[in-house]
Amino acid sequence: MAEPAFWRDRGVLVTGCSGFLGGWLTDWLVSAGAGVIGIVRDQVAESRFWREGIAERITVVRGDVEDGALLERVLGEYEVQTVMHLAAQTIVGIANRNPLSTFETNIGGTWRLLEACRRSPLVRQVIIASSDKAYGSQPRLPYTEGDPLAGEHPYDVSKSCADLIAAAYAKSFGLPVAITRCGNFYGGGDLNFNRIVPGTIRSVLRGESPIIRSDGHLTRDYIYVEDAVLAYVRLAEALGATPTLAGEAFNFSNEQPLSVLELTRRILDVMERPDLEPVMLDQATNEIPHQHLAAGKARAHLGWKPRYTLETGLERTVAWYRAHLSAVAMTADPAAQRCGGGRVSTASFGSDGQDP
């Protein structure tokens, strides 16, 4: 269980606070009484962070995690004790097209933040977001924390490197840093409709068949975003209580791997549209065929386990997108506003859904 007393009046820096997971984590921290500082590079007007007023409840600093001087200033001026480093370029397709920007953000941004933390006398915990992709493709499933980090493609390599750099700062400099390795997040607030969950939900709301970029057989972990928030929270609390956890990495997973096609059908069932047959493009490149994680270490050392079943998480996720897309459509359609509301088509939003 989370410990609200730990967070009360605590100075917490969240990089990536306006992103999908970052918005949920920031919201939780504010509710727990933390004094949250968020570094924001781009303003995405439709994100939960802005639309639901999370930004108004924290200190927002405009800048980039590649700016080392900015990071040092923020840590010092706002007396930050805990750092949650989530800022990253997270889209595999973008990494394949633009590897340098991915390396600069995911690797350069991480070492600059770690160096700023090393130089700050007040920082007590640093949590670095790695990924199951940091393992690359392993011969044995599920992956455990003892498996080597062996990313091969740009996004995977960026996570392997950031993960190793974090461990080096713990071992070489005694920095109190720990590492999360999670499966694929899903939940309300993910506006990247190229991902399988939001893309499928939007397609169904349009009455269209969902689009799967791969052949549908890629297998992954899927972890509900509110479970992921508590994973970060528990790891920071545990690191505060047990400094010897510095340098340790933890897998977080519901330990129920699904193929992309299986997950799509689960969403269709939750939305009561099993008649919509998924369309598979078989166009995925630089994707690891099968990945899933063992989370026994997190259960044993952190007392963490998922609170939400897949069905419950999907139900909560679908409800969020129904409300969000309807609200966005109403905002964008003056005629609908004059009519006083009603169900509005969401057919104008973005591209078709793809798997992660």
User: What amino acid positions are annotated as catalytic residues?
Assistant: 155
What is the rounded CA–CA span in Å between residue 118 and residue 99?
28
Structure-block tokens of residue 89:
């370029």
CA distance 194 to 261: 15
**32 bridge partner residues:** none
- Under 8 Å between Cβ of 197 and 186: yes
Beta carbons of 19 and 25 less than 8 angstroms apart: no
**Secondary structure (DSSP) of 26-77:** HHHHHHTT-EEEEEESS--TTSHHHHTSSGGGSEEEE--TT-HHHHHHHHHH
Q: Where are the beta strands (DSSP E) in the chain?
A: 11-15, 35-40, 59-62, 82-85, 125-129, 177-182, 184-186, 211-212, 219-220, 222-224, 249-252, 258-259, 279-280
Cα separation values, 123 from 31, 177, 314, 332, Å: 21, 10, 37, 44
Contact 354, 211 (CB under 8 A): yes
Q: Compute the distance between CA of residue 276 and CA of residue 274 in angstroms, rounded to an integer.
A: 5
Contact present, 212 and 259 (Cβ < 8 Å): no
Distance CA 356, CA 347 (A): 22
What is the phi/psi pair of residue 266, to 5°?
Answer: -65, -40
> Hey, is 136 helix, strand or coil?
coil
Give the separation between CA 141 and CA 147, rounded to whole angstroms: 10
Say if CB 128 and CB 85 are below 8 A apart: yes
